[in-house]
Structure 1
Amino acid sequence: QLDTEWPKSKNESHNALCYAKNYTGLKNLYKMVSESLLHYFFKTGGVPKSILEKYREGLIIGSGNSNGELYKAILNKETEETVKKIASFYDFLEIQPINQNLSLLKRGKASDRNELIEINKKITGIGEELNIPVAATGDVHYLNSEDFVFRNIILEGQGNRNLEEEGYYYLRTTEEMLKEFDYLGSDKAREVVIDNTHNIAEQIEDLKPIPDGTFPPVIEGSDEELKNLTYTKAYNIYGNPLPELVEKRIDRELTSIISNGYAVLYIIAQKLVKRSNEDGYLVGSRGSVGSSLVAFLADITEVNSLPPHYICSECNHSEFILDGSYGSGVDLPDKICPKCGTLMKRDGFDIPFEVFLGFEGDKEPDIDLNFAGEYQSTAHEYTEEMFGKGKVFRAGTITTIAENTAFGYIKKYFEKREVNLHPAAVRRYQRGIVGVKRSTGQHPGGVMVVPRDKDITDFCPIQHPADDINSDIITTHFNYQSISGRILKLDLLGHDVPTIIKMLSDLTGVDAINIPMDDQETMEVFRSVESLNMKYDASEMEVGTLGIPEFGTGFVRQMLKDTRPTTFSELVRISGLSHGTDVWLNNAQDLIREGKAVLKETICTRDDIMLFLILKGLDNKKAFKIMETVRKGRPLDPETIQYMEEYDLPSWYIDSCKKIQYLFPKAHAVAYNLMSYRIAYFKVHYPEAFYATYFTIKIADYPGNLVAKGIEAIKDEMERIKSLGNDVSPKEKSVYNLLEVIEEMYARGIESKPVSFKHSDKLRFTVPEKGFIQPPFRALEGVSDSHSISIYKEAQNDEFISIQELVKRTKINKVAIEALREHGTLDGLPETNQMSFL
């Protein structure tokens, strides 16, 4: 859209048609789209004409349809001089089929069809006079004429009233176009329909909207830096020279990483994790990054992927357990170093590197990191600090019309027209509009990094998410998936768990890193409630994992009841089972219940298949391929099944493989479990801090006024929600889950104090003394974040002498006042400032 001045509201807008004829033009087109969406957006994208002039190199610009500058100038009877001046700006002039401009007649802008024909003739004449080619364009919106209904349904569904009565904006054949312009004469019609359009097309090079190849960012010296980080920590733990097993693993990984140009990705992740740790926040790793020993030695992940082993911190003596008897070093019994007499440390989770970078080590690593939710924006800012402003953008997403939305649009459209559609017709219309772009957004944690020698417009335009001009965030205009693999995408996600760990450490003074991973009381919560020291039985509690990430849902608690885990490696297996598809239900669960297998024998994570098959003697590469086939839910071919049958596998094993649709990576399960185990440790040994933290995280659903009524009211509400059965709402489900934890807290002899101006925080629960937690103002329904902050701030400054003064100082509304009143916080506080003297 062309505006000669800005702001747009003070100036008429026009449209034009822009083609990129070469890569210079493509980049300029991307720059112009970016300008239109970032700086000149007003209901839709548009740019001042000066911006079009600035970026016109490499573009072919057409004069547009009836909303174009030239067409409107002729329609408005501008002078010949003005019309020619306008026309001279364009590389070609456009004329279109008359039916497409019939709306001008309805709006009284033109008198009849003849006037529209004369305008097209006028444009053709100007082109001849100024030696500017004239091209017949279709302004095509859909393929076939009858498809206009699909477009109407979408437009009306999105609140647009400019609908078509007939389908004029379809892709016409050459014969149809020649017929449309027969009033120009056959020779001229052929010129505008065929010759000139071909001439324009021939100027356009074969272009790819996104360049081939990969364009990773560069950090000078990253190869050497990664080597130094890796060997420094390796020597510190395992001594120099390194054990052969460790040396070979490091050498193989570094060779794969560096030869494929991936060292920079490791260094980026290392710097981000280091900064977060320095600021007091642990970082959890996602996906398969924990499969890489180099990632562990570079302090990107805390998951050590080596086989289970003992290691002496004094003399570096190590002993590796390679017979598959232990799935985790954490589970090894205590052992005194035979060389120096020191109690040895235990580590190693037995995760093959191939899961991360492929069997040949050439698969691009996908390093996903979980930062504390409150720290995520800092991680994004630090990424920009590393690479510079204008080099880091949020990963854009494109939302499309889903089936249910499509059904709603169709139903509304035809009901308005009193048309009763057959279900088959509804499905046909659904198929026609499902997948059409609806809006834009952003990946929850993805950022795209552009190398220093490139510009983002070498790959795509940029914009604000959902065209929100008030947003400070800038995203890629294209869906991030279309440019991922060309430029680096980092997944820096916000997650509750690192936030929980930070809160627990702050409340207790306990460094979560130093929590013992073999604490038996902590392990006990995964199979019973014994270590919770309950004063009385709480409802339906057989295991103590309520509120523990990964283990708190009813589904996983049932798995714990079925399996009664006793080791850390079994917890990892349970995580794999709970995240997989068709791995537990109708598979491992049945095998365990029928006594055909025990938990440690079943397939739980993708790595289990490769490790088990290699242990049974299968070829390493074939074991890897079988793992890849099964984890993706693909069928095993007859030759592979026959090959597997040649080895001593359990009778149920191949059948179990056939049922699996998706398998979780072991490294991801280990990373989650390390965090979950620490939280469980706090739950057992620091219960007040655990519940205060849990309720802070879940504060949006916390029923503060109900809790104030006591445990019997809590139990009554739980029974009420349970009685609803399938009619329970998502909100009630969330509240019920919270009430279960609240009931457990009371059963452990811990109570909630009332919200108080003197003792309550704004947004977080605190621990005032043993046996109690102190809710914040936000714990009351009806008291918002902003209200809570305002109340807390004013309460810290001075006491409130009346409700009138409270309202005046805090600016809170009636809903918040009533919530405080119902809770009892306002008890003893007079309504007004007036005093009576007796």
Structure 2
Amino acid sequence: MKDFVHLHVHTEYSLLDGSNRIKDLIQRIKELGMNSVAITDHGVMYGVVEFYKEALKNGIKPILGCEIYTAKRNMQDKQPGVDSDYGHLVLLAKNQTGYKNLMKIVSLGFTEGFYYKPRVDYQTLEKYSEGIIALSACLSGDIPAAILNNDYEKAVELANRLNTIFGQDNFYLELQHNGISDQNLVNQQLIKLSKELGIPLVATNDAHFLTREAAQSHEILLCIQTGKTINDENRMKFNTDEVYVKSPEEMYENFRNVESALENTVKIAEMCNVELEFGKLHLPGFTVEEGYTPYEYLKEKCYKGLVQKFGENCSEEIKERLEYELSVISSMGYVDYFLIVWDFIRYARENDIMVGPGRGSAAGSVVSYCLGITSIDPLKYNLLFERFLNPERISMPDIDIDFCYERRQEVIDYVISKYGKDKVSQIITFGTMAARAAIRDVGRALDVPYGEVDVIAKMIPFQIGMNIDKALEINPELKKKYELEDDTRLLIDTARSLEGLPRHASTHAAGVVISKEPIVEYVPLQLNENNVTTQFTMGLLEELGLLKMDFLGLRTLTVIRDAVNLVEQGHNKKIDINNINFDDHDVYKMIGEGKTVGIFQLESAGMTQFMKELQPSSLEDIIAGISLYRPGPMDQIPRYIRNKNNPKEIKYHHPMLENILNVTYGCMVYQEQVMQIVRELGGYSYGRSDLVRRAMSKKKVSVMEQERKNFIYGITDEEGNEVVRGAVKNGVDEFTANKIFDEMMDFASYAFNKSHAAAYAVVAYQTAWLKHYYPVEFLAASLNSFLGSSDKVSQYVNECKVLNIKVLPPDVNESNVKFTVVNQKIRFGLAAVKNVGENAIQSMIAERTQNGLFTTFLDFCQRIEGREINKRCIESLIKSGAFDSLKVFRSRLMAVYERFLDGIAQAKRKAWRVSFPSLI
């Protein structure tokens, strides 16, 4: 019996791309000699797609399912003390219909039935039962629970009902062997039920961890998930170490007296045949005006934008580039995609919602530029379309968009209203246990004193990619404690077994998916903090052919918007921030002087120093700076600065490199440069050059050695046609070609996407331009963007002092919620004063607006009494100087304010008693 093991897959096996837990599970199944396995997590379908792919890759048949929670009454019933109880039921998908129905059942459990758990009722099961095999589940199943409650008649009733819902041979009574005494009683009664009702039995293996030895780690994991410690007698626990993945031999030994149950595992495995479809697009259609096809409509919009961007007499080269991009977009089936993105960006711009100039490789597209999706000229900066969309690399285009931080949600709301609430969803993301967090979590669960755990956790170096094994290698002190102290070894070993596990699910900060049909037809949904999200992550959604994009809130765009508005209010001057002079010497001079506080991407200490050394003189220098100031390419910085300042020192391995590398003073900086070198020296197509660039970045040695030969000598197809010309045929000698290829190989793993850097360099320059010409308005806007951060507020207030901009203290008669500009001075915003809440501020502003300015402190106290302003708030206002304009020393106010407030409150109460004596 080697066909089927039933798994309740707990979080230790779910969910992330390439999850090692899923790989471990499949490896275990292979080692045990089985050829099929079912995955059924509790209430969710996390990890289903990863499991499916990994199983097929290893020759294992995947059976997809879920162990759902069943409501005792209707799933809409949510009465405390009554509906908090729920049962379990295992559902397996037989076919595509069953898989779709399973996703709907699981989704409804969250969106309609959630009450402590995502529950569904039997009426829902009746509606979506087609294509599903149901098993009666573990001891928490409705039927086993009835048996344990000595209600055999109820068990009969439930068994008959479920058999009717799913149909004969689609419902099975589930036998388990888990070392729990109650299970033996339930098994006996289930065998009896099977004989009486003719409902078949199935032997399953309820597995929560891979091997018996992992039981203790699983106990710790349960403690972490439930907030308990291992010494808590009331903690959730299994009271058995038998819930591991057992061998076929063990299963046969456990159920030798009911061979039919074992045979039915094989039968079920043969019946379940779901095939997930990857690569087929499910993009929503875009409705165009009557008389147009979507392509015609897209083309018209592009040519209209072409005239606006390049003029009516633009070159044939530009038109050819546009036509080429349109043909690729059309042939790859992405016309509707571009129209959808164009439409919601159009909506944002028409409603004065700030949109960024671009993000990622989309800035390399002329179509994107003409449609207004991006606002940086890809031809001027030599950005490549193939880096974005490559006909030789079939993958979804990825257009991520930055919006004003405060108004991003308005754009999402527009998309929801246009395509339908059921076709738009946010996307799930998962937090995992990093090394330090795993140590701390396990320490709490093991009841180790905090101080001891803290010492060990802090021995884990704080750097990207760090794990416990690496920490033990590089920190001899940690390794010594591990080797000498038993308690430390237990803590670290347990943490190591749980490291990398998913810790929690949340909503992705920016990801949104839009589908052709209701999303639940393609992926299961759930609720995260009242947001409907997919249960599959971004990468999986793309693989399944769904349109995913990032609606990102960029705080800097809000700063730019606010600064521009303040300039218009104070100077009666309207600024078109996208059409300022990008070649302003004075702006670059300011950056080169290190005056970069508040400037996007350039305000860190390291980047400020880099700019002072670089002395940028063009946007190209800012683009290169953003690209170089990262681990890896930072090694190129001295060479870049040296070559910029001494152009005579620039050397090229071959003259053909000059046109490609002159913009970066002979240094390789961008991925696009790698593509150009491969194309112009090696004779590759741009599409193929992008594939080589990707392979280089992933350091695929065998692939690269073949590409080296292709680059140097070229390729011909079977018919003798030249596919790649080769550098030698293009006049590059063999030695030099090898040298260039070596340099590309060294560089490609950390090369940066120039399209992304160029778009962000535009935002950096815009903030620098505003700071140079309108420093008061720019810094006021910057302060407003960080009202909740005292560190940032302090930093920007200090910058105002450096620039001799006077920052006036808060004032109850003049300050608003945010920082404001008054006669080229900045008035402190009340929201930046600690302990002064939004409601209190609005009360003050409303009072002074309706009844005039406050004349004395007593006047203020009398007029705001009874509003949402407490003593702590008054104290903070006094200390911050908000009453200084009333000409009373702060020390005197601090001495009397409590008596003032108490006296006013007492006087009001006394007046109330005099007015209403009969009520006393």
* Band the TM-score falls in, shorter-chain normalisation: 0.7 to 0.9
Is 1:449 the counterpart of 2:514? The answer is yes
Structure-2 separation of matches of 1:482 and 1:121: 43
TM-score normalised according to structure 1 size: 0.79
* Deviation of the 1:431 alpha carbon: 4.4
Q: Please name the residue that 1:76 is paired with.
A: 149
C-alpha change, 1:740 and 1:408, in structure 2 (3 Å) is closer
Secondary structure, aligned partner of 2:407: helix
* Deviation of the 1:65 alpha carbon: 2.0
Unmatched runs of 5 consecutive residues or more in structure 1: 105-115, 307-347, 529-542, 703-734
> Could you tell which deviates more after superposition, 39-48 or 773-782?
39-48
Q: Deviations over 1:251-283 (max 9, x none)?
A: 211110111111212112211221111122331
* Deviation of the 1:363 alpha carbon: 4.4
Secondary structure, aligned partner of 1:526: helix
> Could you tell which deviates more after superposition, 262-271 or 196-205?
196-205
Unmatched runs of 5 consecutive residues or more in structure 2: 1-68, 164-170, 229-234, 288-292, 453-481, 569-573, 651-661, 713-726, 887-892, 908-920
1:387-398 equivalence runs, <5 A: 387-398=419-430
Q: 1:555 aligns with which of 606, 625, 634?
A: 606
Q: Please name the residue that 1:513 is paired with.
A: 578
8 Å Cα contact 1:588-1:603 kept in structure 2: no
Q: 1:792 aligns with which of 845, 862, 870?
A: 845
Is 1:247 the counterpart of 2:319? The answer is yes
C-alpha change, 1:397 and 1:237, in structure 2 (3 Å) is closer
Structure-2 separation of matches of 1:176 and 1:631: 47
TM-score normalised according to structure 2 size: 0.72
Q: Which amino acid aligns with 1:375?
A: R
Is 1:769 the counterpart of 2:823? The answer is yes
Question: What RMSD over aligned residues (CA atoms) do the two structures have, in Å?
Answer: 3.1
Q: 1:676 aligns with which of 764, 768, 783?
A: 764
8 Å Cα contact 1:523-1:566 kept in structure 2: yes
> Could you tell which deviates more after superposition, 116-125 or 385-394?
116-125
Structure-2 separation of matches of 1:793 and 1:684: 36
Q: Please name the residue that 2:332 is paired with.
A: 260
8 Å Cα contact 2:515-2:547 kept in structure 1: yes
Q: 1:52 aligns with which of 118, 125, 137?
A: 125
1:669-818 equivalence runs, <5 A: 669-702=757-790, 735=791, 739-762=794-817, 764-770=818-824, 772-798=825-851, 799=853, 801-802=858-859, 804-805=861-862, 808-818=865-875
Q: Please name the residue that 2:373 is paired with.
A: 300
* Deviation of the 1:13 alpha carbon: 2.0
Count of aligned residue pairs for this structure pair: 717
* Deviation of the 1:87 alpha carbon: 1.9
Structure-2 separation of matches of 1:351 and 1:82: 70
Structure-1 separation of matches of 2:763 and 2:641: 27
* Deviation of the 1:429 alpha carbon: 3.4
8 Å Cα contact 1:807-1:813 kept in structure 2: no
> Could you tell which deviates more after superposition, 807-816 or 274-283?
807-816
> Could you tell which deviates more after superposition, 54-63 or 631-640?
631-640
Q: Please name the residue that 1:195 is paired with.
A: 263
Structure-2 separation of matches of 1:592 and 1:397: 41
Q: Please name the residue that 2:535 is paired with.
A: 477
8 Å Cα contact 2:405-2:553 kept in structure 1: yes
> Could you tell which deviates more after superposition, 648-657 or 483-492?
648-657
Secondary structure, aligned partner of 2:764: helix
Structure-2 separation of matches of 1:517 and 1:592: 21
Q: Which amino acid aligns with 1:550?
A: Q
8 Å Cα contact 1:803-1:826 kept in structure 2: no
Q: Please name the residue that 2:436 is paired with.
A: 404
Q: Which amino acid aligns with 1:141?
A: H
1:588-599 equivalence runs, <5 A: 588-590=637-639, 592-593=641-642, 597=650
Structure-2 separation of matches of 1:575 and 1:258: 34
Is 1:587 the counterpart of 2:631? The answer is no
C-alpha change, 1:99 and 1:475, in structure 2 (3 Å) is closer
Structure-2 separation of matches of 1:3 and 1:271: 43
Q: Please name the residue that 1:435 is paired with.
A: 500
C-alpha change, 1:190 and 1:563, in structure 2 (3 Å) is same
C-alpha change, 1:202 and 1:293, in structure 2 (3 Å) is same
Secondary structure, aligned partner of 2:508: strand
Structure-2 separation of matches of 1:650 and 1:179: 64
Q: Deviations over 1:195-233 (max 9, x none)?
A: 22223333322343x665221111143311210011123
Q: Deviations over 1:680-701 (max 9, x none)?
A: 1221111110110111112222
C-alpha change, 1:63 and 1:624, in structure 2 (3 Å) is closer
Q: 1:214 aligns with which of 261, 268, 281?
A: 281
Q: Please name the residue that 2:242 is paired with.
A: 168
Structure-2 separation of matches of 1:660 and 1:743: 41
Q: Please name the residue that 1:311 is paired with.
A: none
C-alpha change, 1:397 and 1:769, in structure 2 (3 Å) is same
1:106-145 equivalence runs, <5 A: 117-145=184-212
8 Å Cα contact 1:582-1:660 kept in structure 2: no
* Deviation of the 1:21 alpha carbon: 1.6
1:258-657 equivalence runs, <5 A: 258-284=330-356, 285-306=358-379, 348-358=380-390, 360=392, 363-414=395-446, 421=486, 428-451=493-516, 454-465=517-528, 468=529, 471=530, 473-485=531-543, 486-509=545-568, 510-511=574-575, 512-528=577-593, 543-578=594-629, 580-584=630-634, 586-590=635-639, 592-593=641-642, 597=650, 600-611=665-676, 619=684, 621=686, 624=690, 627-631=693-697, 637=705, 639=709, 646=734, 654-655=742-743
Q: 2:751 aligns with which of 637, 644, 663?
A: 663
C-alpha change, 1:126 and 1:556, in structure 2 (3 Å) is same
Q: Which amino acid aligns with 1:202?
A: E
Secondary structure, aligned partner of 2:206: coil
Structure-2 separation of matches of 1:376 and 1:410: 39
Q: Please name the residue that 1:335 is paired with.
A: none
Q: Please name the residue that 2:881 is paired with.
A: 824
C-alpha change, 1:747 and 1:433, in structure 2 (3 Å) is closer
Q: Deviations over 1:556-596 (max 9, x none)?
A: 11111221111221121112212x44112x22324545865
C-alpha change, 1:627 and 1:371, in structure 2 (3 Å) is same
Structure-1 separation of matches of 2:733 and 2:837: 63
> Could you tell which deviates more after superposition, 372-381 or 159-168?
159-168
Structure-1 separation of matches of 2:846 and 2:880: 20
* Deviation of the 1:796 alpha carbon: 3.0
Q: Deviations over 1:766-820 (max 9, x none)?
A: 11112x1011101212324444344434443335555644664441344322211
> Could you tell which deviates more after superposition, 806-815 or 170-179?
806-815
8 Å Cα contact 1:143-1:171 kept in structure 2: yes
* Deviation of the 1:290 alpha carbon: 1.1
* Deviation of the 1:77 alpha carbon: 2.3
* Deviation of the 1:377 alpha carbon: 0.1
